[in-house]
Amino acid sequence: MARTYRLERRQLVERPLDEVFAFFADATNLEAITPGFLRYSIRTPLPIVMQEGTRIEYTLRLFGLPLRWRTLISVWEEGRRFVDEQVSGPYARWRHTHTFEAVEGGTLVSDVVDYALPFGVLGRLAHALLIGRTLDRIFAHRHEAITRLLACDAAAVPGSAPVAAGVGRARLGGRLRAG
């Protein structure tokens, strides 16, 4: 069985919940918050109606390799949360839960990604050497892009340092360590 990893991010966006959710509900905005080095492109014809059951196909380049990625919106709760899950792509498993909560000062945007890599020991080695750090870099870029595009003073929520952990692991002092 493949080891499951978890990446968590929280960001306060100083905009109303309905505006923030609408931004994320527009699938084309994913291109705007994805780093250029991935050469990410939506292949599904536009416009995409986001709802439970929506399937979206993308292409991207990861470490120079061209990849096709298909996801399914498996949960859609308007104004509250949605979940995209990989149907086919580079991971053995990918489940990304996006949650939105109105809080004092704006909207708290939370991302929880549970993922696993194929190839057993080689997948775990790739995670330690490349994949974990690359996902950290992608989500750091995403944070900055959301801040810029929503023209706000979005900030990481105090006490919510980025976490990328596998089962039985925790991020301590910026390094992935066995627990």
What lies within 8 Å, CB to CB, of 137 at 6+ separation is 35
Kindly report the pTM of this predicted structure.
0.83
Mean pLDDT value of segment 54-71: 94
Say whether pLDDT at 94 is over 60.
yes
Domain boundaries, the chain: 4-178
**4-13 and 163-166 strand pairing:** antiparallel
Tokens in use for 135? 């996902």
157 pLDDT higher than 90: no
pLDDT attached to residue 2: 80
Compare 1 and 13 and report the one with higher pLDDT.
13
pLDDT of residue 152: 52
pLDDT tens digits, one per residue of 96-153:
999 999 999 999 999 999 999 999 999 999 999 999 999 999 999 999 999 999 965 4
Tens of pLDDT, residue by residue over 2-61, are 899 999 999 999 999 999 999 999 999 999 999 999 999 999 999 999 999 999 999 999
- The CA distances from residue 4 to 21, 56, 123, 130, in Å, are 28, 23, 11, 16
Structure tokens at 75: 């949960």
| Domain 4-178 in CATH 3.30.530.20 | yes
**Rounded mean pLDDT of 147-174?**
45
Confidence band, pLDDT 50/70/90 cuts, at residue 88: very high
- Report, as an integer, the average pLDDT of 64-78: 96
Q: How many angstroms separate the Cα of 39 from the Cα of each of 42, 58, 60?
A: 10, 10, 5
